[in-house]
Amino acid sequence: AQTVTQSQPEMSVQEAETVTLSCTYDTSESDYYLFWYKQPPSRQMILVIRQEAYKQQNATENRFSVNFQKAAKSFSLKISDSQLGDAAMYFCAYGNQGGKLIFGQGTELSVKP
Amino acid sequence: EAQVTQNPRYLITVTGKKLTVTCSQNMNHEYMSWYRQDPGLGLRQIYYSMNVEVTDKGDVPEGYKVSRKEKRNFPLILESPSPNQTSLYFCASSSTSGGALGTQYFGPGTRLLVL
C-alpha cells in the first residue's frame, strides 16, 4: 500500500526567507503524480504544485519549487521569498493512474514578520 | 465560473438519521472524489469515481455510500451516521484527459457534527 509521510508537523520562517517542507512517500508503482496543496484558515484546498513522476525536471510555480528525488521517494517543497500570505497548512499528496489519492498528515507553516 | 459546490456547508444531525451531502461540478470532469479531514490525520479518501457508473473505495469507505449517475454529480450518503463520522468533508473533481490524473479542484467543505 502507498503511504505519504510529512515528518514536520510545524515549521516557521521569517518573512522574505526561504523554507523547505519535507515529504516522503512509498509506492511500488512506476507511474504516479505528486502534489502539494495549501490550506489557509478558510479551509479551502488550493493546489500549489503538481509533478508527474515520469518527468525528471522539477516543477516550479513562481516562488514555489519542488525537489523531486524519485529513487529516494522524496518530494520536498521550497518556498522562496516567504510572504505572510504563505502561512497555512501544507499537504503533500500522492495519486496514481487509477484515481487513488493519499495525503500526508500536513505541515503547519507560520511566517514571522 | 469553474467550481465545485457542496451542500450543505454545515450540518448537525443525530445518530442514525440518514443524510446526503451533495457535490456538483461544472467543469465536465471525469474524476470525482470524497475526502474527510480530521485533526492530525490529513485528508483521507472515502470513495472516488473515474467516470459515470464507476466508483471505487478509498481508504475509509466504511459507513458511506456514493453513486455516480451523472457526470456532474457525486453525492455522499451516510445511511446511519455515527459520532465517529463527525468531520470536515471535501469533494473534489479533476480532468483525466490523456489518462493523466489532473489538478484536483476542491469544494468548500462540509462540516458535519453527529450527536
pLDDT digits (tens, 9 = 90+) for B79-111: 999 999 999 999 999 988 777 778 889 999 999
Q: What is the mean pLDDT of chain A?
A: 95
CB contact under 8 A, B59 and A35: no
DSSP reduced 3-state for A100? coil
The closest CB to that of B42, out of A43, A98, A106, belongs to: A106
pLDDT in the model for residue B75: 98
pLDDT in the model for residue A12: 97
Residue, of B102 and A42, whose pLDDT is higher:
A42
| pLDDT range class, residue A20, cuts 50, 70, 90 | very high
pLDDT in the model for residue A18: 98
Q: Are A65 and A56 in contact (CB under 8 A)?
A: no
Rounded Cα gap, residues A75 and A67, in angstroms: 6
CB contact under 8 A, B104 and A96: no
Residue among A83, A90, A36, A44 at smallest CA distance from A63: A83
Q: Are A102 and A2 in contact (CB under 8 A)?
A: yes
CB contact under 8 A, A105 and B48: no
Interchain contact B38–A (C-beta under 8 A): no
CB contact under 8 A, A103 and B58: no
CB < 8 Å to B57, chain A: none
Listed by number, the residues of chain B in 1-30 with a beta carbon closer than 8 Å to a beta carbon of chain A are none
pLDDT in the model for residue A1: 82
**Which residues, 6+ apart, have CB-to-CB distance to B8 below 8 Å?**
B21, B110
Q: Which residue bears the cell 503533500?
A: A92
pLDDT in the model for residue B100: 74
pLDDT in the model for residue B102: 82
Interchain contact B44–A (C-beta under 8 A): yes
Q: Which of A27-31, A34-38, B5-9, B65-69 is the least confident region?
A: A27-31
Interchain contact B47–A (C-beta under 8 A): no
pLDDT in the model for residue A71: 93
Which is it for strands B10-13 and B110-114: parallel, antiparallel or unpaired? Answer: parallel
Which of the residues in chain B have pLDDT under 50?
none
Q: What angle do CA A101, A106, A110 make, to 5 degrees?
A: 145
| pLDDT range class, residue A33, cuts 50, 70, 90 | very high
